[in-house]
């Protein structure tokens, strides 16, 4: 398997972290809408024009799926990133998820 050069790795990590930040903000917005819709009283439901519970759940699931995908891609970037002659990782990948780490329950 080919390794990723330092420049490609740095650009990739930067872009993916930006996307992850955007998705995290979107998840917070979806959670706010979910909480607001749960607080809507029965009498107010007749006038409620917001998203349905199903739409909120769908949006939340989509954002969580996107975040999980970003984490997986970041772990592959760390795995494929070029290492220096001593075998040390690039600074930009040290905090990324580790593909070779055992899964903790």
Q: How confident is the model at residue 48 (pLDDT cuts 50, 70, 90)?
A: low
Q: What is the mean pLDDT of residues 39-60?
A: 76
Give 66's contacts (C-beta < 8 A, 6+ positions apart): 19, 23
Domain range annotation of the chain = 6-84
Return the higher-pLDDT residue of 27 and 40: 27
Residue 28 DSSP SS3: helix
Mean pLDDT taken over the chain: 83
* Angle CA 78–82–83, to nearest 5: 95
Phi, psi of 4 (to 5 degrees): -95, 135
Give yes or no for residue 94 having a pLDDT over 70: yes
Q: What is the mean pLDDT of residues 13-40?
A: 90
Q: What is the mean pLDDT of residues 19-41?
A: 89
């Amino acid at each position: 398997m080919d390794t990723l050069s330092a420049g490609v790795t740095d650009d990739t990590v930067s872009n993916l972290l930006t996307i992850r930040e955007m998705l995290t903000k979107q998840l917070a917005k979806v959670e706010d809408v979910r909480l607001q819709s749960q607080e809507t009283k029965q009498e107010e439901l007749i006038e409620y024009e917001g998203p349905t519970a199903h739409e909120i759940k769908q949006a939340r699931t989509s954002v969580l799926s996107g975040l999980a995908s970003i984490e997986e891609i970041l772990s592959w970037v760390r795995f494929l990133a070029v290492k220096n002659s001593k075998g040390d990782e690039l600074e930009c990948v040290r905090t990324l998820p580790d593909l070779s780490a055992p899964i903790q329950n």
